[in-house]
Structure 1
């Protein structure tokens, strides 16, 4: 056995010596730089681009077969700028020789230094790398009748790379079609040893410059990556992505964000994506999600639960250098959290099982957006209790008494008028909102239903309040914003609403009691509140039952006027003055913001009132003439109704401060009617005696 072993060892020694001799000969007799023309010609023939090898090529053979290069450039595509498509300062790649005998490719660390890539897209939308990625279809192979066979595991070549290092790389992106230009610089990439189907660490850092927006974004990524040999199945574990955006227009001039995920699975063959325990944090804002995606290349669909942890919106606004609004409640807008089930495509997003908690309000339902380029919004939401006044600007005590009463539809119209016409014209929305309780402008409402429909420049809202101060309210608003000046139509009705508590809540005081039924049909046009009021046209009607006007005593006004005429002392003031009416009715026509009411009727056991006049909504002034018929009490001796007396009253002033004055002539006429008639007749009789019969008839015709 000793002799054969010696023979084998001698053969191996001879082979080793032969290899050493061959390697030595390669270094002595072969210079890789001599093959530069052949290499450049091969690249030109294969891809049609010019390859320039400026630096020296250095060859290594054993135990690594490799090559190191100096500076190399690859020309740009035809029709683009003359600067190179890519250039590199130096590179180094080595493959181990002996594992090749067993079909194993073991590559040493690949090192690329000073890599620059210039990517571009022209105005026609053609990019400068399309010729490198387009592949020509191969002619079909002749049918040999044999079935295709897949290579066995033993026949497959195994590949491992000792790692990849890219230092100080740069990518320039020039999109002439959109006018966008980005520069990605300081790209550094380092990986561990790369073996298919085994995890290896990845560390990536880069900086993105956007000169147009004056923004700089720094990005750092660390993860453990696993790739299969077909390069269609990827797994990223312990993903950690950190970004910092800086610029003059960035709130606070700098904004940081972090994205982490425990596991990301991407299967390109099946077009599946799964992201587990995704976390996104930026300042106080924290979002958590678990997302799955299907058909991500053809028809992507992403879905999964999303949670936004409770945060302080006011604090976030301050962190973003946004001045928070001044609100009546200092604790308003300090707690916000939400969660929902997300379903999203490349052109839509649908939020189901939506729960929003804003301060003390809980909102539930669903919402969605379809067609991001021209968004169509849909929603169906329910809220338990909302105090909108908490979020409004602080109100002075004097503001309560001076603010005019506005219905929900009119308030909605005024709010909508603050939005640009173009925004309303593009609005495409359809949804419903239900509120169990709501407070706005100090008015309390229960069981509220709101509907919104907006499309093609037509905006329609419907409002119903089933419990509104022991009564109800219903109304709708139609806005046509297809032209430059919006046209509005309002139709409203209130039924059996208690006036006194409504006025106390809204204005802080009530000068009237009773139950009111009213309806209004109004139209207007304009781009702001003043234009809408001045163009207001339509009609309305009202009916007050069992009403009491506080601070106004019609009987006392008449008595004071009588006493003043007689020269008698005025009656003692009474702070609890009031006038009772069993019913007040009327209708009105509105023309260019002026309300004309010609059939005001009020009655009680002692009064009959008829009136007419105007209320100017633009100047908020009153101009009314009221005739009050005072019914005297029955005579105690005869039991018969005494003679009626009519008094004329002028109502002026403003909505918030009306004034009442008596027409003195009406009192004088009633008081002296009999005496005047008696004296007038005596005068006429004297004229007939002195001037002859018929003279009195001539005087009557003159006066």
Structure 2
């Protein structure tokens, strides 16, 4: 027995030594890199894969069976034109040798560095991953029983899982998405207990142009026997950008208390999604969404239940707290679609405010049905109905059907659009066809704007006739064009008693507007503030003597892109009746041009051109005009409160100036004006009467004639040269019956004063039209001085120049004395000549005496 024991022990010792020797030989004597060809051959035979291990293989055996693989690449044997399926930079795994011999998988750590997994399918359907051509029989495909599954799957335990810098991508003819910078970390992985998992990755997708970053933490429980997989306490953070929402950042926080998954179904209870403030096209949205959903994998169906949302939207200063409830379903596969039926939205009582509008109380309920087909990129909304109150006014917004297509081909259509707010009633329809062609119509029924504004708490500007203004507004139009160009043709509108017809074109991308409008009669004075005489006087009296003028703002004009052509039957502004108005207005990049502007006013015609460059600092202005036959009395009275002239005015002028207010425009005005007034009068004074009185005084006689209060003239010519706000008139000329008035002077446009030196001469028809004067007075230029504010009455503005008049009268007296003295001398000489001639005739005879007398007369003269 003793020898037998010794033999057994010896045999065991030899066996252990032999096994140890084998392991020693494998570990120290066999290079694992020599196994690369065998690994590659096995992969080709069993998986139809080409495995290329470029890095080194390393291993260890006790107490951990460890394998480390260097840089490796895997590609399919077929379709070699496609990119490799996968590659890694380095992988390491170590197993407990003792547990492995006992049928348990106990891994100390599993590390994968630089995994790059590319799934590619070309247009012909070829893939870079192996596909099995044989279909499994029903017996082969039948799932294992729970006992078989429990018996065949070993006990699993992984102390550490670390995947770093991985990349996973998928690409076919229509989609391309990839996960980059993938990091996965987990500890104490087992099939009996929950274990933590954390994930970080970045997602990009084309052609949707989506970029997203995801971080996720959860507890995972794997029940292989029951084939139930659970995620508990899942928390995720997502930040995404996409071209669809203008590359603004969308931040989501997701919380899932529990996710239960089986091979047939995924159940999520109480999914909580929090949306951080997100701004899209000037609207900010934030809120929370809660829902449960069931995902049937075999049926390719997703059902959403108990969907609730609390959202807040903000448009400038407007905030809308929204609560949303719906039942939903999502199908995918060959014909995926999303269905929300019904969708109910409740806007809780809140205050909304737009721009500088007052805050309005709002409460509303919305119901609708939505269906979306992602594959065909179609959406349909049916029976949209909003019922509520805004500022205690009934609010209704309805659309029987809204359908459309998004993506590369955009189309949309609405039927039965209806908007009601109090008495406001807007109805219409709109169709956007796949080629972006627009068709539709909109109609606004007559509404009392003043009453609606009062109900909404809006304060309208003061108007001269509140009883008749803004009491009726209506319009209707046909819509056409190609998006984003909208054409309104024909366009008809009615504002109170003023009708408007025409067409308009809106270029939404460029913000450009074009319109051609015909407008009836409009009394703009009814819409302007009423100003009484007492108010005007009080405002003038209380105005400080020196005030800094307020500059105009051209911000709105600088951004305006407008081409407008209009015809208006009549327009009254500040009491001036304008008729038959034609105008073409264009505004582009801060350049405003009016070319031409034609109108009829006070029996005459005006045609002008104007240009304003608001980009310059200060703004530059140019103006040209032609005036023909305009009655000056009413025009000056309305425009400048002057009663200086009456008559028919014809003029042409060209001016340049710069400035941001009226005072600076006048101060910088330069240019030239040629003006003529025919068959008119200088009102408030009679120059003929004043001069004739002076003549009568000089001739020591009195006038008994009845005179007019005005100076009537046949023609008045003036040329004004403007320079830095002052007008110089070097050649004033007026033709008055029996008189001629000439002179020169200046007008200060800023100070609103004038200073003229004038002179009047009697003509040879003075005795017919003015008064009878002797030839000496006809040669005298009678001086006049017009000086003072433009608003001064003519009788006080223009007076005879007394100093000049004295000098003129003195000159008349001198001339008349010289004439009388010369007349006496001539008379004495004539008498002396006559006496001499008589004596010569007596002495020499009559014939010789006459001859000698003529010679002597010539010598005397």
TM-score (norm 2): 0.55
- SS, match of residue 389 in structure 1: helix
Q: Indicate which of 496, 499, 505 corresponds to 1:362.
A: 499
Higher relative contact order (CA 8 A, sep 6+): 1
CA distance in 2, matches of 1:171, 1:55: 34
Counterpart residue number, 1:529: 662
CA distance in 1, matches of 2:318, 2:734: 76
Tell me, yes or no, if structure 1 residue 73 matches structure 2 residue 206. Answer: no
More strand by share: 2
CA distance in 2, matches of 1:354, 1:475: 28
Q: Indicate which of 180, 203, 211 corresponds to 2:344.
A: 203
Tell me, yes or no, if structure 1 residue 265 matches structure 2 residue 403. Answer: yes
| Cα-to-partner distance string for 1:58-111 (whole Å, 9 max, x where unaligned) | 9xx9xxx99998754335469999x9741135689999x9xxxxxxx9x99x86
- SS, match of residue 580 in structure 1: strand
- SS, match of residue 691 in structure 2: helix
- SS, match of residue 395 in structure 1: coil
After superposition, the CA RMSD in angstroms is 5.5
Tell me, yes or no, if structure 1 residue 88 matches structure 2 residue 266. Answer: no
| Cα-to-partner distance string for 1:572-621 (whole Å, 9 max, x where unaligned) | 997x5122111111211111111111211111331111121111111111
1:117–1:550 CA distance, 2 compared to 1 (3 A): closer
Which sits farther off after the overlay, 234-243 or 550-559?
234-243
1:55–1:170 CA distance, 2 compared to 1 (3 A): farther
Tell me, yes or no, if structure 1 residue 470 matches structure 2 residue 603. Answer: yes
Tell me, yes or no, if structure 1 residue 323 matches structure 2 residue 459. Answer: yes
Tell me, yes or no, if structure 1 residue 116 matches structure 2 residue 274. Answer: yes
CA distance in 2, matches of 1:354, 1:625: 58
CA distance in 2, matches of 1:369, 1:157: 51
The answer to whether the Cα contact below 8 Å between 1:475 and 1:493 also exists between their aligned partners in 2 is: yes
TM-score (norm 1): 0.66
CA distance in 2, matches of 1:77, 1:666: 93
Q: Indicate which of 379, 386, 406 corresponds to 2:522.
A: 386
| Cα-to-partner distance string for 1:554-574 (whole Å, 9 max, x where unaligned) | 123335567889999998997
The answer to whether the Cα contact below 8 Å between 1:382 and 1:434 also exists between their aligned partners in 2 is: yes
Q: Indicate which of 640, 656, 668 corresponds to 2:791.
A: 656
CA distance in 2, matches of 1:392, 1:316: 20
Tell me, yes or no, if structure 1 residue 484 matches structure 2 residue 652. Answer: no
CA distance in 2, matches of 1:401, 1:210: 43
| Cα-to-partner distance string for 1:25-50 (whole Å, 9 max, x where unaligned) | x9xxxxxx997989987999999966
CA distance in 1, matches of 2:228, 2:395: 42
Counterpart residue number, 1:451: 584
Residue 346 of structure 1 deviates from its aligned partner by 6.2
The answer to whether the Cα contact below 8 Å between 2:254 and 2:271 also exists between their aligned partners in 1 is: no
CA distance in 1, matches of 2:345, 2:600: 62
1:45–1:378 CA distance, 2 compared to 1 (3 A): closer
Counterpart residue number, 1:428: 561
The answer to whether the Cα contact below 8 Å between 2:347 and 2:364 also exists between their aligned partners in 1 is: yes
The answer to whether the Cα contact below 8 Å between 1:117 and 1:171 also exists between their aligned partners in 2 is: no
Residues 240-639 of structure 1 correspond to what in structure 2 (within 5 A)? 240-241=385-386, 258-267=396-405, 271-282=410-421, 285-295=424-434, 300-318=436-454, 322-330=458-466, 331-343=468-480, 347-372=484-509, 374-397=510-533, 419-503=552-636, 511-559=644-692, 577-631=709-763, 632-633=766-767
- SS, match of residue 618 in structure 1: coil
Aligned residues: 573
CA distance in 1, matches of 2:346, 2:220: 28
Which sits farther off after the overlay, 217-226 or 307-316?
217-226
1:56–1:526 CA distance, 2 compared to 1 (3 A): same
| Cα-to-partner distance string for 1:331-364 (whole Å, 9 max, x where unaligned) | 2233222222334766444332122211111112
Residue 651 of structure 1 deviates from its aligned partner by 0.9
CA distance in 2, matches of 1:169, 1:446: 59
CA distance in 1, matches of 2:305, 2:368: 15
CA distance in 2, matches of 1:37, 1:165: 31
The answer to whether the Cα contact below 8 Å between 2:596 and 2:608 also exists between their aligned partners in 1 is: yes
CA distance in 1, matches of 2:505, 2:306: 45
Residue 654 of structure 1 deviates from its aligned partner by 1.9
Q: Which runs of 5+ in 1 are unaligned?
A: 1-21, 27-32, 98-104, 122-155, 174-179, 246-251, 404-416, 684-703
Q: Which runs of 5+ in 2 are unaligned?
A: 1-144, 150-188, 204-212, 242-247, 280-296, 332-336, 540-549, 822-861
Residues 195-234 of structure 1 correspond to what in structure 2 (within 5 A)? 200-205=341-346, 220-225=365-370, 233-234=378-379
Radius of gyration: which is bigger?
A: 2
Residue 497 of structure 1 deviates from its aligned partner by 1.9
CA distance in 2, matches of 1:46, 1:453: 51
Which sits farther off after the overlay, 503-512 or 362-371?
503-512
Residues 139-218 of structure 1 correspond to what in structure 2 (within 5 A)? 164-167=305-308, 187-191=323-327, 200-205=341-346
The answer to whether the Cα contact below 8 Å between 1:601 and 1:611 also exists between their aligned partners in 2 is: yes
